[in-house]
Amino acid sequence: MTTDDAVISWSCDGALARIGIHRPDKRNALATRHWAAIEAALDAIAASEAQVVVLAGVPGAFSAGADIDELGQLLAAPDAFATNNAQVQRTQLKLQRLPQTTLAVIDGACVGGGLGLALACDLRLASRRSRFAITPAKLGLVYSADDSRRLVNTVGMARAREMLLTGRLLDADTALDWGLVNQLADVDGLDALEQAQLQLLLATSGQARRAIKTVLGHLGGDAGISAAQADAAFNDAFSSRDFSEGAAAFLEKRAPRFN
């Protein structure tokens, strides 16, 4: 299925869902309508049987952030700017809270709102030609509290301060060293790295991964997830079908066959 004139596309194939950004002439810069299309895709995927979601852009760019042409229009329309900000934050929060495990596959520019999108994913893979930055300070703007929290949770307070206060552009090796991405590959090895990561994820319990996201969301400061919900996620796992299968597989020395 495709939305928004093929700029934002999404599909589900069994346990795997994909969301793609296809705007090479703008290095996958995102306007308000594109954020809305991503939100619509997330709503559909949340209700699907998918277990893992891959988010990627066209080769050479994950997303360069805000659409500069639209930004010029928004500067003259405060109400529209507020609507854009609300849409971006709502989409990123929905991605963060998606029950499925999310994987950003990054090749090239991953800047501003593009990096915000990647930070809302659970895991990030990148090519060695990727570059990362968050630059609101260069525009006289401030990163939102939710965006800043995701960055701090990923790289730590000291490095988050450096990224936000300076707008520094990080190369891929620095991003890996700082924990901004989980793994790197050469451009021609990125697909193989993605497949290896998907194989690892899909060999685990989707039920457990959803519960783990609840616990980590609470620990990460998500106000929408209470301590009681995190405790329930932990306790309920012991009576789940997946635990019964996992325990049986362990005792029988075989690979588990999760539902």
Of 123, 102, 232, 125, which Cα lies nearest the Cα of 172?
Answer: 125
CA dihedral of residues 24, 26, 30, 31 (deg, nearest 10): -130
Strand 8-13 to 16-21 pairing: antiparallel
Bridge partners of 21, per DSSP, are: 8, 57
Reading the block at residue 170, the tokens are: 């990080």
Model confidence band, residue 5 (pLDDT cutoffs 50, 70, 90):
low
Q: Write the pLDDT tens digit of every residue in 43-88.
A: 999 999 999 999 999 999 999 998 888 887 887 788 888 999 999 9
Q: In angstroms, rounded to a whole number, what is the distance separating the alpha carbons of residues 119 and 182? A: 11
Helical ranges in 31-144 per DSSP H? 32-46, 68-74, 78-96, 113-119
> Model-level pTM?
0.95
Task: Provide the token pair at 192.
Answer: 């193989």
pLDDT in tens, 25-49: 999 999 999 999 999 999 999 999 9
